[in-house]
Amino acid sequence: MKPTEQKTEQQYWRSLDQLAGTPEYRQFVEREFPVGASEMASEVDRRKFLILAAAGIGLAGLTACRRPIEKIIPAGGKVAEQLVPGVAQQYATIYNLGGQAQGVLVRSNDGRPTKVEGNPAHPASLGATSSYAQASILDLYDPDRSKSVKQGKDNKNWDDFVKAATPLMAELKGKQGEGLRFLAEANSSPALRELRNHIATTMPNAKWHTYDAVSQDNALAGANLAFGQPVHVHYAFDKADVVLALDADFLGSDIDSTINIKNFSKKRRTGTDIEAKDSGHGSTPHGEEKKDEHKAEASQAQHAVPAQHAAEPAKAESGKEGPKGTPTPAPEPVSNKMNRLYAVESNFTVTGGMADHRLRLQSSKIGGFLAALAKEMGVTAGGLDKHAGAINGNQLAGKWIKAVAKDLNANKGRAVVVVGARQPAHVHALAALINASVAGETVKYTRAFEDKFESNLASIKGLVDDANAGKVNTLLILGGNPVYNAPADLKFREALGKVQNRIHLGLYQDETAAECNWHVNEAHYLECWGDGRAYDGTASIQQPLIAPLHNGKSALELLAVLSGYAQTSDYEIVKTLWLKSLGGEKAWNKAVHDGLLANTAFAAVTPAVNAGAIGSALDAAPVAGNGLEINFVQDASMYDGRFANNGWMQEVPDPMTKLVWDNAVLISKDTADAKGLKNEDMVKLTLKGRELLLPVWILPGHAKDSITVALGYGRTVTGRVGNGFNEKFGKLMDTISFGNTIGGNTYLLRTSDAMDFALGVELAKTGEAHKIAATHDHWSMEGRPLVREATLDDFIKTPEFAKAPDAGLHMISAFEHPYDFKQGNQWGMAIDLNTCVGCNACVVACQSENNIPIVGKDHVLRGREMHWIRMDRYFTNVPATEFEVGGAKPWVFDEDYMQAVQQPMTCQQCEHAPCEEVCPVAATVHNEEGLNTMAYNRCVGTRYCSNNCPFKVRRFNYLNWHKDMSETEKMMQNPEVTVRMRGVMEKCTYCTQRISAAKHQAKVEGHRAIRDGEITPACAQVCPADAIVFGNINDPASHVSKLRKQARNYQLLVELNINPRTTYLAKLRNTNKELEA
């Protein structure tokens, strides 16, 4: 679409280049494969390659005649009876992140953990997980993990360490622990608490410090302020009809996001809660009837597209007979229940993308917004006027405050205000005050893990001050990487240098390990016993699946040995502790089996809000000034930097920016234009005299006069992945301009007085450019209407709106396949765009289940990424000018009204698959269950199929990505899925291995039918929103069939007559009339 063309319909686009139709964009999408994708990567040119290949074949030809000898090695010794070799087992355990335990079930194939899944019984999982938990298994097998104890640069072993540490600890014990300090990350483990108590009694002068770069400090401080005690806030999004999110990415980076998404999605299944009327058996939603039905609708509803202005047309469809005489199913009764989400934020987050209305506002002004809102709502507290003044003059915000206040007040008891972890304590406290009047059941409080609140910041500051004062003799750093991520002004590295004995326990030999005298390699969570608490307090047991691969030790073992605790093995410590409260072996076994202890969640508390304290805090808090603002945010992939050496996380595109292997200065289009910046321009950031180089990336819809930088990049001491180097393919990143790091270390700008955001940052263009790999233009859909959305009102008026945009042309396939798709199991999938937030968990889960390799930044730039699920993020904005039906005013790009739609795009399993028709060797063919199958061993790599795929979901192995895999990485591969080699095409299989397994099981169990829900592909299993549903579409009672009968259900590219088996449920936005532009 050229900018000169005037469009009247709402436009959906993935990148600003696409919107503007720049020549670079056209050239990129018009090529058969992206520039460089088909070319050799290394200095070996084609000719030389052929010479080498010919020689290679000559030699290989001879050796290939010999039969490879394979050994079968059954276990020696005594064998556990219940284990059946070759049959995978699942074990419950927990994954700890940010001090919170998420229950997981981990699959073990003959003793090797291979896949993390959610634990349906665990309250912090309910069957789903975050993408972090999915990727955590890669850390277990990471060949760059710390493999030994180190003293300085020398390899030592555990016994050496114990020998060296024992006299030191004895001496410290003699001094009551004077000079002994511990620095750990947030941890809710009761066993660790027990050891801390033990240390506190035996060495009362020792001190425990806690530091996390990404913490809950503000929320806890806010609760402390509002209630006089630190409490955990739990939002019951399944009960909230109106949600106001203030800089709160509760569906994305929030500590509890898995559960938040789960609950939030329950209020978004609009049109589903009413059981479909059985519209007869002829209505199986595929095949010929469907086609005709679409044709009929299409002719009526050509202009009824994107919904924002879809008015009356295409109603009155019910009872209409299709040309073949099959009754078109009558539209189902539509439920109009749906929550409404308002988001006010600086960065464009996935929560903002899900919002029904989104206001972009500097993070520093959000306190002002809330104060003004409180005033409007009639909440009284001191200091409101002062803060509300900060947004004076912002007309749009003024309009918002009126509308949102009205909506919140009208929904008392069913409304909630959520404040993000980056907002200061007084904003949290003010939200608590507002919630006290509007929340009702939507907010619950429980006690926090710690009874007394001490902020992370105060804790590490205290440590640094004492170290500088020479009061610290021995420091034990238990996990974490403070040298890298402590606030820059504390100069942690220098302070650490003043400590005599520095001991570090960690998974990696990282920046902190490099500064310590001793490093102890830590056991991965799948290698050791432990425990933890979910955010709601539920006690959970961490059970290892494998003995430590590199003889690592857990924090529990290290502390127990050093402090002389009664037990020294982590198993004994955890078991002894829990047996006390459990009472018996049987209960303990059950707890280990379940992964949790039932009914141990903290009881809800109802603390009284102290309005006076909040008022005086507001009075004391300074009002935000003006100027360019910088925001430090947790990265969707790196978290706080701990995933730097995790290739899956480096390569999964950021949910909003679609950047991989990099961070950037995120900036709005208007601010960038005002400063003369464009994408990939290198800029120098200056904040309080500290400087950092970073490239620019324009994120349309970002707040004006504000920039966002992600934490967690620019690691200097990490593994091969994190250093951007890979032996297999040489440098993963030739285009690096940071030296030897991936991205820029934004911790260098982050100081203790501005941990979250700060005003007064300066941006100066250096004149250089940094090549950024962003995947949003890869596999472009060329503006075809793949996402459909409507407002709730329009949906109620025109329930079938999503089916409308059909060009009406139906191609007739020249190929007939021999199968009757009305027989037997016919697999299909439905994906609900109204609940999908784009959290990426499915992308990583798919990668883990299907042995999908990573390729590195340079190859991503060439368009060679291998993910089977592409999370398409479309930007759009509601028209800035009123759209009247028929009154066609031009649609214009307006950053004030930006929205996003996330669409997981994977093989659609077309019944008339275009890929199959062009494969010269029949390597991709259909089966009788409607799957578009891939026989890898037949594929010769012509790539015709990928070229003919209308959804661009096929992935080609340009290189042998699995070459030279380390022995530990080999252990991680799913044995049920072929590891593909070079020259082979691959794509989503609907997890055909899981289908086979279920079919085999059904046959063994008396040749029964497969039950609905028995097969769950990895993506559907992990989805926190339950947006992906898989099943038999031939069974009218199956979940997927019911979804396919819904009014919101639509197929992509109907006009091609390809009849995809995957269908989508259109997105809805529950708009507030008063805020429509």
Partner 1 sequence: MKATKLIFPKWINTAIRLALVGAALTAGAIVVLGKFLTMPETIDVGYQPTQPVPYSHKLHAGEMGMDCRFCHSTVDKADFAAVPPAQTCMICHTAIKKDSEKLAPIRQAFADPSKPVQWTKVHKLPDFVYFSHKVHVNGGVSCVSCHGRVDQMEVVQQQKPLGMAWCLDCHKAPENALRPKEFVTKLDWTPPPGTTQQEIGMKIKNENKIHPPVENCAGCHR
Residues making contact with partner 1 (CB under 8 A):
67, 69-79, 84-87, 818, 925, 927-929, 931, 933-938, 976-978, 989, 992-993, 995-996, 1000, 1003-1004, 1007
Nearer to partner 1, 20 or 935 (CB): 935
Q: Which residues contact 739 (CB under 8 A, 6 or more apart)?
A: none
What 3 state SS string does 324-385 have? Answer: CCCECCCCCCCCCCCCEEEEEECCCCHHHHHCCEEEECCHHHHHHHHHHHHHHHCCCCCCHH
Torsion of CA 858, 863, 981, 112, to 10 degrees: 70
Distance CA 412, CA 441 (A): 10
Nearer to partner 1, 70 or 159 (CB): 70
Q: Which residues are bridge partners to 1062 per DSSP?
A: 829
Distance CA 690, CA 692 (A): 7
Distance CA 968, CA 142 (A): 7
Q: Which residues contact 199 (CB under 8 A, 6 or more apart)?
A: 177, 182, 206, 208, 559, 563
Nearer to partner 1, 1 or 83 (CB): 83
Q: Tell the smallest beta-carbon distance from residue 149 to partner 1 (Å).
A: 24
Decide the pairing of beta strands 180-184 and 474-478. parallel
Q: Tell the smallest beta-carbon distance from residue 592 to partner 1 (Å).
A: 24
Look up residue 792 and give its DSSP letter: H
Nearer to partner 1, 62 or 72 (CB): 72
Nearer to partner 1, 64 or 892 (CB): 64
641 conformational bin, left if phi > 0, alpha if psi -120 to 50, beta if neither: left
List the structure tokens of 327.
Answer: 């009754």
Distance CA 1053, CA 57 (A): 45
Q: Tell the smallest beta-carbon distance from residue 850 to partner 1 (Å).
A: 10
Q: Tell the smallest beta-carbon distance from residue 979 to partner 1 (Å).
A: 8
Nearer to partner 1, 63 or 606 (CB): 63
Q: Are 646 and 636 in contact (CB under 8 A)?
A: no
Nearer to partner 1, 453 or 944 (CB): 944
Q: Tell the smallest beta-carbon distance from residue 1012 to partner 1 (Å).
A: 19
Decide the pairing of beta strands 231-235 and 207-210. unpaired
Nearer to partner 1, 58 or 167 (CB): 58
Nearer to partner 1, 59 or 1004 (CB): 1004
Q: Tell the smallest beta-carbon distance from residue 983 to partner 1 (Å).
A: 14
Amino acid at 216: Q
Nearer to partner 1, 172 or 934 (CB): 934
Nearest Cα residue to 1068 out of 665, 787, 743, 647:
787
Q: Tell the smallest beta-carbon distance from residue 72 to partner 1 (Å).
A: 5
Q: Tell the smallest beta-carbon distance from residue 784 to partner 1 (Å).
A: 29
Q: Tell the smallest beta-carbon distance from residue 770 to partner 1 (Å).
A: 41
Q: Are 266 and 432 in contact (CB under 8 A)?
A: no
* Other beta carbons less than 10 A from residue 324's beta carbon: 11
Nearer to partner 1, 599 or 937 (CB): 937
Name the one residue in this structure whose structure tokens are 């006009």: 1055
Q: Tell the smallest beta-carbon distance from residue 957 to partner 1 (Å).
A: 14
Nearer to partner 1, 213 or 1020 (CB): 1020
Q: Tell the smallest beta-carbon distance from residue 1059 to partner 1 (Å).
A: 19
Q: Tell the smallest beta-carbon distance from residue 967 to partner 1 (Å).
A: 17
Nearer to partner 1, 968 or 978 (CB): 978
Nearer to partner 1, 171 or 964 (CB): 964
DSSP for 433-474 reads HHHHHHTGGGEEEEE-SSSS---HHHHHHHHHHHHHTT--SE
Q: Tell the smallest beta-carbon distance from residue 989 to partner 1 (Å).
A: 6
Nearer to partner 1, 415 or 934 (CB): 934
Q: Which residues contact 759 (CB under 8 A, 6 or more apart)?
A: 364, 624, 625, 626, 627, 628, 629
- Exposure b/e, 784-821, CB count within 10 A at least 16 = b: ebbbbbbbbebbebbbbbbbbbbeeebeebeeebeeeb
Distance of CA 707 to the CA centre of its chain: 22
Radius of gyration of the chain (CA): 29
Q: How close are the terminal C-alpha atoms of the chain, in Å?
A: 24
Q: Tell the smallest beta-carbon distance from residue 1021 to partner 1 (Å).
A: 18
Q: Tell the smallest beta-carbon distance from residue 680 to partner 1 (Å).
A: 41
657 phi and psi angles, rounded to 5 deg: -85, -20
Q: Tell the smallest beta-carbon distance from residue 965 to partner 1 (Å).
A: 14
Nearer to partner 1, 558 or 923 (CB): 923
Q: Tell the smallest beta-carbon distance from residue 976 to partner 1 (Å).
A: 7
Residue 297 to residues 96, 260, 320, 811, 912, Cα–Cα distance (Å) = 51, 37, 10, 17, 21
Q: Tell the smallest beta-carbon distance from residue 548 to partner 1 (Å).
A: 17
Nearer to partner 1, 260 or 992 (CB): 992
Residue 170, classified by CB atoms within 10 Å of its CB into exposed (0-12), middle (13-18) or buried (19+), is exposed
Residue 509 to residues 155, 184, 528, 712, 1037, Cα–Cα distance (Å) = 12, 16, 19, 16, 54
Distance CA 641, CA 485 (A): 8
Nearer to partner 1, 76 or 167 (CB): 76
Distance CA 839, CA 210 (A): 29
